[in-house]
Structure 1
Amino acid sequence: MWVKLEKLKNSCWQRFRRKKHKLNFFSKVRFKISGKSIGTYVALLIIAVAFISILGMLLSSYLNTTNILISRNNASKKSAVEVINTEQQSIHDTAQKALVGMLQQPEFKEEFKLDAIYALIRAAENENGVIKNAIFTTADGKYVTNNDKLDVHYAPTKQTWYQEAVKKEGVLSWSSPYKDPTSQQYVTSVSEAVRDATGKLGVLSFNISYNDIQANLDQMQIGRTGTATLISKKGIVLAATDHKLVGKNISSMAVFKAIAHNKANAGNVLPKGGSRVETIYYTKGNGAQMWTLAQVQRDELTPEIMSLISESLIAALVVLLIGIGIATAVTRLLKITAAIFVHFLAEAGNGHLVKIEEHKVPRKKRVGKLTAHLIKSDAAGNELQQVIFHYNKMIMTIGALILGIQKEGANVSQRTAALVALSQQTNAATEEVTKTITAVAQTTSEQAKKTQRSGEQIQQLSQVVNALEGKMATMKHQSALTTHVNQENVNVMTRVEQNWEQQIASLETQVHDINKMDASIQDINKIIGVINRITAKTNLLALNASIEAASAGDAGRGFAVVATEIRKLAEQSKASTKEIATNVESIQARSKQVVAGTAKALAGGEVQTDLIGQAITSSNKVVTTIEQLLAGIAATATLTQKIIDIQKQVSANLADISAATEENAAGTQEVSTNAEEVLATMQEFTKHVAELQKIAAKLKQNLVEGFVV
């Protein structure tokens, strides 16, 4: 294929050289372009990009410089605060060591002697510059001090430092900063309460001045407008770079309140409405009794920012001018290059396929020479040179193709005529296939409907079988419940029979016991008869004794009394015996009645036992009958389940057949539709082939007359 294409291309260019009207008309051409130009938009785009880059550079430079300066100021503020804290901690440690060292001296261990203590504190104050206005006082108000400016009525035991030291006896006590009445400066007292060898209480105290911290603040430089301040927890300014603030109370200021509400011991606070430059750095030291803070003013960065802006504007102006120059040159170059391309493309549009070549571009000006260099055809050159190379290659290829199309035009016309005849035959065959497929589709559709009706009838049979299965399950459940109830009835009747047998045995035992009791009562009657006889004899003997006692006269009176009493006892025994006999007769009569009732109960119990046995026998028969009924229901359920399984298989088979039939019907319908579409396509194809035949004739004529290759 490519070999044929190359031959056609070479033939094309040979014919091109032989054309008399193909003279080199580019040697005198002037490349101009009229109307709107993209060069203006390109220039504006370059200037806009340069301007945006300048703005980005200015903004980035401004932000970076601002952040660097703010970071530098923050570092300066933090460093200043740390210096003040270090100085404050150093004074604090020195004072603590001085106080502890003084209290280790013998003057405070032995009995307090004020003269010796005065000499000690005076020497210590002269040697240690931290110790100011040292004082020692006892609990009775006597004191010694190196401060000769105290009032004569000064009462040290009423001072706050004394009272706090006594509360914390044996522990260093630091007072809040206060204004010393003698020096009129704010100081802090360090005190400790101790006892001598006799147990007497005394307090040693001296003041710590903030003059050393103030001296450091005076020498400190925090940026250009920065200040550092040492304040007490109550808002009193103890030392500051601005001397006007020393001694003032700033507790009502928003900055102080913000620091007070901040729980952190160190951090940053931004005043309300302030900028980042005005951020205040603070620390809370010495048990949060004294705070140190540092800040700078809003205009701290103004000189640096203004200098940065002026230098950046100058640089931006220079870059903008350079960008405008570059944009002008690029615009000019683009206009000339675009004019060259427009000219060659216009010639190609008019049917003159000509390559773009370097020697056809004028070289009078520098821009023209540069443009001629840019439009050089080079496959390995820059993007524009590669575009020109491929454009020239496209012109050669199109020329070769046009010649080939002209040559093959006649063949296309002949073959399109053959295609028309073939398409007409195909149309006739497709119509016959369509009719056959339509008939098959109708038959398949009817089979699918019949199969669907069979499936619906099977579904109805399935519903009837399911209902029958539900009824059988209900009957089985109710029969099982009946069997369970009858079995419980049999069990209850069995227990009742057992209880009756026990009651009958108990009644027989009672009858036997009553018979024994009746025999015992007969024995009691015999004993009562014996007692009656003994009582009669006793009464007779008592009568005889009374007669004998009467005949004995006075000697027999005692015996007569005894005989009388024996006679009375005999009569009482006789009366009791009669009463016992009466009760025994009553008991005997009742026993006979109980025996008769018990005999009747025994007879009735035997009858009841027979009836219960008959009821148990009947219940057992009912249970046996229900068990047989359950076995029949289970067999019926098994047969019903087999019917359901067969119905499911039949339903599944019918569903498969129905689905297959529907699928066949759908496939047949689809084939019929496709056949109709093929028929329509073949008809349209025949029409297009006829049109193609006409187009081939026109194309052959237009290629010969419309293109110059």
Structure 2
Amino acid sequence: MDKVKKQWGNIKVNINKINWSKFKPSKGGTGVQRNHKSVRWPITILLTIVMLVPVLTALFFSYIQTTKIMTERVEAQEEQITSNIVSTINNATAAAESTVEKLAMDSILNQVSAGISGAESQLSSRLQYISSGNRYISDAYYIPIGEDQDIVTTNTLSNADDLSEQLPWLESASTSNGIQWSKPYTLNGSTRIAVSRPLFGGQAVIGVLAVDLDFETIKKDVAEAKIANTGSIQIFTDEGIVLASPDTSLIGENHNEKPYFQTISNQESDSDSGIIYDDQVNGEKFGLYYEKVPSIGLTVFGMVNENEMSEETSAIIKTFITIILITVILAAVISYFAAGIITSIANAMMKIFGEVRQGNLTNRLKYKELVNFKNPFVMIKKKRSKDSHQANSSKNDLDPKGNEIHQIAIAFNETMDTFENTITTIQGNSQHVSEMAATLTELSDQTSSATSEVAQTITGVAEATSTQTEDTEETANQMKDLSQALNEINEAVGTMGGHADNTMILNGNNIFATQDVDQNWKETLGTMDQLKDQIKEVDGDIQNIEGIVNAITNIAKKTNLLALNASIEAARAGEAGRGFAVVAEEIRTLAEQSAQSSKDIQNIIHTVQNKSTDMVNHLEETNEDSKVQTEKISEALSASESVASSLEQLVASMIIVIQSSSVINERKDQVVSQLENIAASAEENSAGTEEVSANAEEILATMEDFTSQIKNLEDVAITLKHSAEQFEINQKQENNFDSNDEDNLSAEYV
């Protein structure tokens, strides 16, 4: 963190050392006085924004992704450390339960119950060994039920006559049927949770055996567990009481009404762990991982504060601000230089266009005029090439293989060369336009002669008109033959319509039959699915039976163990326990038979399960084949429907053909009548040829007007020549043009 602050301070010092006055635009520029707005600053701002937007976008998404990763890492650490604490508690409870069970099977308890001398001392030693051998076990108890025996314990009870107050679990433990965990209680200033079980003598409870789980040790583990920078572990009872927390002021508080505790209390899920979010704890910035210990009624929470990542977030933001400032500075400098080059090129272009507007076509662009922007880069470049420019200032500095600026200048200069050549050509050719006018006069005379030839052509048109009349009569006869052919077509189409109707009826019957097959097949598929579901239910019932058989097997094992213990005890009893030993042996034999029967049942169940699995697989294969059959039936239905649609279209087309034939018959008479009209029109065309002859005379008069317009063209040519002479061109090009012969000029004009 200190290193980042130091780097940030160095960057601010270096920024303050920059001489920003060097970046101000030069007033000299290209030497062109501007009375208009410049695009330099808009371009600079636009390019800066364009370069800055991707950087800001990348930083924004990087910030989001970094924050997400850090949050996930903190939540993963919550889960890991919380799970470690829960694992420690589970191991401690398992060890306590195992200790109680093993101690309950110890024969020393029978000796204590029988009042054998020294038995209580041995039991006390074993209890001391238990409490000192496990750091999570504080004390162990053997509390007999009766007034003639003493309590054996590793703890010092203040008032043995009032055990129910010091040991609140004693009453419920003496009436239970097995292992039982108590609620947390306090004894001798320390928090404990007791695991106990009753000891039976026949049908009566003769004592209670218990072990205290030392919760003070667990509190130390919780205090030592660190989550990230601000996180901690807290342990609650099912009632919301804080049992352990690094903040000792919270121990004993009731958090049952807190939102996060209400959330896990109201959850209907069977899961004993998960992540929840609470606005009061950390503003829902981080999840609260919880894991329950249902065996002893505890819930362990791992949580961090709202400002867990404040230092990391501050460092990231400062780093991003540094990057943004550096990007803005670089983008502004680069954009300013780029805009300067653009405005320099624009000013040079405006200068040369101004000279062209004044009629000067001799000037050309040069690279040093285009890039005339006073910035450090260009000034250094100019300084390096100063000697070469001064040595040959008249030489063109454009490189045909140079960059885009060179290419722009070369293309512009070539355009100006072409424009100058065009003006030179106009100046040279304007004097020949008058000669062309004389040629046009001759063409007008030729046009008059051609007009007389047109009159002769009109006579030929009249002869062709009579031939047209004869062809019209022949066409009328052919129309009658066409009418007869159309009648035959109508009869054939009617026959086709009858066949199409029969085909549509048969196809409709086929569609109905296929639909019935499809419906029956779907019902069969439904029946197969029901059969498969029923087989799966039977398989589930078999699995339940298997669970029952496993329970019977466990009972048989325990019965066998009990019979073994009974045999041992009978052996100790000597002659008095011989009958009991026979009973124990019979019980062991029955237990072995029960275990063997359970194994046989399990083998049968496995066989039934395998067969039911094969049947389900076979039904699934049949179901897959059925799907293919269903698709084929659907394709057949679609094909039949397509055939019906095509037949309907065919019938519609035949109806259209019949209607069209009727229309043709109706129009036949009209066509014959029109052909007769055409013949009459041909006669009228003959009369029209006389009118065309009269129009030819009018054309001759028009040609005289055309001749007068040619004279006006000569005047326009003179005006064009004067206009072209206003442009200033290279004298060398003008002399080259004058040296060309007249034939070349005429050819160029054409």
Q: For residue 240 of structure 2, what is the aligned residue in structure 1?
A: 235
- The letter for the 2-side match of 1:203 is V
- Give the number of aligned pairs: 471
Q: For residue 204 of structure 1, what is the aligned residue in structure 2?
A: 209
Deviation readout 1:103-144 (Å, 9 max, x if unpaired): 232224678347354553344324433333322345658772
- TM-score by length of structure 1 reads 0.52
Q: For residue 172 of structure 2, what is the aligned residue in structure 1?
A: 163
Structure 2 residue 404 is the aligned partner of structure 1 residue 383: yes
Q: Is the 8 A contact 2:345 2:371 kept in 1?
A: no
- The letter for the 1-side match of 2:244 is A
Q: For residue 585 of structure 1, what is the aligned residue in structure 2?
A: none
Unaligned ranges ≥5, structure 1:
1-28, 470-645, 666-685
User: For the structure 1 residues 110 and 703, does the alpha-carbon distance in structure 2 shift closer, same or farther, using more than 3 Å as the test?
Assistant: farther
Structure 2 residue 95 is the aligned partner of structure 1 residue 94: yes
1:389 aligned counterpart, secondary structure? helix
Q: Is the 8 A contact 1:379 1:385 kept in 2?
A: yes
- The letter for the 2-side match of 1:266 is S
Distance in 2 (CA, whole Å) between partners of 1:326 and 1:110 is 98
Q: For residue 300 of structure 2, what is the aligned residue in structure 1?
A: 292
Deviation readout 1:324-359 (Å, 9 max, x if unpaired): 444444444443332112212333444434321246
Distance in 2 (CA, whole Å) between partners of 1:649 and 1:255 is 83
Q: For residue 668 of structure 1, what is the aligned residue in structure 2?
A: none
Distance in 2 (CA, whole Å) between partners of 1:131 and 1:649 is 106
Deviation readout 1:521-555 (Å, 9 max, x if unpaired): xxxxxxxxxxxxxxxxxxxxxxxxxxxxxxxxxxx
Distance in 2 (CA, whole Å) between partners of 1:259 and 1:648 is 78
2:196 aligned counterpart, secondary structure? strand
- The letter for the 1-side match of 2:44 is A
Structure 2 residue 417 is the aligned partner of structure 1 residue 396: yes
Q: Which has the larger radius of gyration?
A: 1
Q: Is the 8 A contact 2:82 2:233 kept in 1?
A: yes
- The letter for the 2-side match of 1:130 is Y
1:305 aligned counterpart, secondary structure? helix
Q: CA deviation at 1:393?
A: 2.6
Structure 2 residue 253 is the aligned partner of structure 1 residue 248: yes
1:297 aligned counterpart, secondary structure? coil
For 1:41-80, list aligned pairs within 5 A. 41-49=42-50, 52=53, 55-56=56-57, 59-60=60-61, 62-80=63-81
Deviation readout 1:164-189 (Å, 9 max, x if unpaired): 675443xx3333x3223x23544322
Distance in 1 (CA, whole Å) between partners of 2:51 and 2:273 is 46
Give the alignment partner of residue 337 of structure 1, picking from 340, 345, 350.
345
User: For the structure 1 residues 377 and 174, does the alpha-carbon distance in structure 2 shift closer, same or farther, using more than 3 Å as the test?
Assistant: farther
For 1:112-511, list aligned pairs within 5 A. 112-113=113-114, 115=120, 117-138=123-144, 144-146=151-153, 147-149=155-157, 150-155=159-164, 160=169, 163=172, 167-169=176-178, 172-175=179-182, 177-180=183-186, 182-195=187-200, 202-262=207-267, 263=269, 264-272=271-279, 274-287=282-295, 289-310=297-318, 312-314=320-322, 316-353=324-361, 354-358=363-367, 369=379, 377-403=398-424
Percent of matched pairs sharing the same residue: 16
Deviation readout 1:582-638 (Å, 9 max, x if unpaired): xxxxxxxxxxxxxxxxxxxxxxxxxxxxxxxxxxxxxxxxxxxxxxxxxxxxxxxxx
2:406 aligned counterpart, secondary structure? helix
Q: For residue 11 of structure 1, what is the aligned residue in structure 2?
A: none
Q: Is the 8 A contact 2:191 2:216 kept in 1?
A: no
Distance in 2 (CA, whole Å) between partners of 1:397 and 1:258 is 86
For 1:586-625, list aligned pairs within 5 A. none
- The letter for the 2-side match of 1:382 is N
Q: Is the 8 A contact 1:110 1:196 kept in 2?
A: no
Distance in 2 (CA, whole Å) between partners of 1:303 and 1:279 is 19
Q: CA deviation at 1:271?
A: 0.9
User: For the structure 1 residues 123 and 265, does the alpha-carbon distance in structure 2 shift closer, same or farther, using more than 3 Å as the test?
Assistant: closer
Q: CA deviation at 1:291?
A: 1.5
Structure 2 residue 88 is the aligned partner of structure 1 residue 82: no
Distance in 2 (CA, whole Å) between partners of 1:167 and 1:123 is 26
Q: CA deviation at 1:251?
A: 0.9
Distance in 2 (CA, whole Å) between partners of 1:423 and 1:193 is 141
User: For the structure 1 residues 301 and 129, does the alpha-carbon distance in structure 2 shift closer, same or farther, using more than 3 Å as the test?
Assistant: closer
For 1:496-535, list aligned pairs within 5 A. none
Distance in 2 (CA, whole Å) between partners of 1:127 and 1:32 is 100
Distance in 1 (CA, whole Å) between partners of 2:342 and 2:128 is 97
User: For the structure 1 residues 364 and 131, does the alpha-carbon distance in structure 2 shift closer, same or farther, using more than 3 Å as the test?
Assistant: closer
Q: Is the 8 A contact 1:133 1:145 kept in 2?
A: no
- The letter for the 2-side match of 1:124 is I
1:105 aligned counterpart, secondary structure? coil
1:277 aligned counterpart, secondary structure? coil
Q: Is the 8 A contact 2:96 2:195 kept in 1?
A: yes
User: For the structure 1 residues 663 and 61, does the alpha-carbon distance in structure 2 shift closer, same or farther, using more than 3 Å as the test?
Assistant: farther
Distance in 2 (CA, whole Å) between partners of 1:362 and 1:41 is 19
- TM-score by length of structure 2 reads 0.50
1:30 aligned counterpart, secondary structure? coil
Name the stretch that deviates more: 226-235 or 139-148: 139-148
User: For the structure 1 residues 87 and 412, does the alpha-carbon distance in structure 2 shift closer, same or farther, using more than 3 Å as the test?
Assistant: farther
User: For the structure 1 residues 259 and 352, does the alpha-carbon distance in structure 2 shift closer, same or farther, using more than 3 Å as the test?
Assistant: farther
Q: CA deviation at 1:423?
A: 12
- The letter for the 1-side match of 2:79 is K
Deviation readout 1:29-59 (Å, 9 max, x if unpaired): 9344332111111222244446656755664
Deviation readout 1:297-322 (Å, 9 max, x if unpaired): 22233333334444544554455445
Q: Is the 8 A contact 1:107 1:113 kept in 2?
A: no
2:211 aligned counterpart, secondary structure? strand
1:133 aligned counterpart, secondary structure? strand
1:154 aligned counterpart, secondary structure? helix
- The letter for the 1-side match of 2:88 is E
Distance in 2 (CA, whole Å) between partners of 1:88 and 1:266 is 15
Distance in 1 (CA, whole Å) between partners of 2:320 and 2:661 is 90
User: For the structure 1 residues 144 and 355, does the alpha-carbon distance in structure 2 shift closer, same or farther, using more than 3 Å as the test?
Assistant: same
Q: CA deviation at 1:413?
A: 9.8
User: For the structure 1 residues 203 and 404, does the alpha-carbon distance in structure 2 shift closer, same or farther, using more than 3 Å as the test?
Assistant: farther
Q: CA deviation at 1:661?
A: 11
- The letter for the 2-side match of 1:207 is D
- The letter for the 2-side match of 1:125 is S
Deviation readout 1:191-247 (Å, 9 max, x if unpaired): 234435797654321121222221122223323322210112221212111111112
User: For the structure 1 residues 653 and 312, does the alpha-carbon distance in structure 2 shift closer, same or farther, using more than 3 Å as the test?
Assistant: closer
1:300 aligned counterpart, secondary structure? coil
RMSD: 5.8
- The letter for the 1-side match of 2:140 is A
Q: Is the 8 A contact 1:255 1:269 kept in 2?
A: yes
- The letter for the 1-side match of 2:162 is H
Deviation readout 1:372-396 (Å, 9 max, x if unpaired): 7899533433222222222223333
Distance in 2 (CA, whole Å) between partners of 1:125 and 1:143 is 19
Q: Is the 8 A contact 1:417 1:693 kept in 2?
A: no
User: For the structure 1 residues 217 and 419, does the alpha-carbon distance in structure 2 shift closer, same or farther, using more than 3 Å as the test?
Assistant: farther
Distance in 1 (CA, whole Å) between partners of 2:175 and 2:440 is 130
User: For the structure 1 residues 347 and 267, does the alpha-carbon distance in structure 2 shift closer, same or farther, using more than 3 Å as the test?
Assistant: farther
